Each structure stands twice: as C-alpha cells, then as structure tokens.
Amino acid sequence: MALCDSNYCFIWIDIRGFDIPDPRFITNNEDIRVPYVIVADEAFGMSENLMRPYAGKMLSYEKKIFNYRLTLARRYVEYTFGIMCNKWRILHQALDIKIDFAENIVKAICVLHNYVRIRDGFKY
C-alpha cells in the first residue's frame, strides 16, 4: 500500500500491513486535521480511511463526477508504481529472497525513487 503526492513521489508506504498515519493539518494556519485516505477500487472493502467509487450503472450526475475524479486521483498512485517499476527493473520479476530482505529492498527502492524524482532535472 502506498500514498503518493501529485509529483509521483511516495509520502507513505506500508509493505505488510495497513497502518495509516494520523490525521494532519493541511496548512499551518488551520485548526482542522484532515485524515489520510486511500483511493481504491471496488476490490477493497469499506473502511473509514478508504475512498472507492460508487457501484452500479444508474448513478446520479454527482456520483458519476465523483467516480471520474476518484479514478483520476487513483492514476497518480498507479503511475507512481509504473515509473518506479520501469526505473528499477528488479521489480519486473519475482524476488527470490527472504521476505524481510525483500521488504528492505522495496523500501530502499521507494526512497531512491523519491530522491531521483525530486532531483530529476537538476544539474550538479
């Protein structure tokens, strides 16, 4: 599971479980904490921190718009994983190693992915 920003960087990853971070302030001058939510598809069950599209075909206009925008948001996560997998080709195949070591490899690749995304385009 992962949470990504609009720059295709990971802001949170969880390899084994589903431990979502606590709500945070969006800006420094607000009093309202906003919870993290996971944008998912219909395969996930309902949860407090999960947003998934409305089911059915006979939806109101507002629900169709919600589903469309939710799909656009979900693309950021899908594209982030796609960029990462294409950059780090080791992820194109099964890792034939112990689970704990595989977790460390995936976490390291996520950190390196963010580093490369942030530094991309800078000249040193």
- Backbone φ and ψ for 51, nearest 5 degrees, come out as -115, 125
pLDDT(17) > 80: no
Q: What is the pLDDT of residues 31-46, one digit of tens each?
A: 888 888 888 888 888 8
| End-to-end CA gap in the chain | 33
pLDDT(9) > 80: yes
Domain boundaries, the chain: 2-119
| Amino acid sitting at position 68 | Y
Split at pLDDT 50, 70, 90, the class of 63 is very high
Split at pLDDT 50, 70, 90, the class of 113 is very high
The pLDDT score that the predictor gives to residue 124 is: 52
Length of the chain: 124
Pairing assessment for the beta strands 50-51 and 38-39 based on DSSP bridges: parallel
Q: What is the DSSP letter of 92?
A: G
Instruction: Using CB atoms within 10 Å of the CB of residue 4, give its burial: 0 to 12 exposed, 13 to 18 middle, 19+ buried.
Output: buried
The pLDDT score that the predictor gives to residue 122 is: 60
What is the pTM (predicted TM-score) of this model? 0.71
Which of 88, 75, 90, 76 lies closest to 115, judged by CA? 88
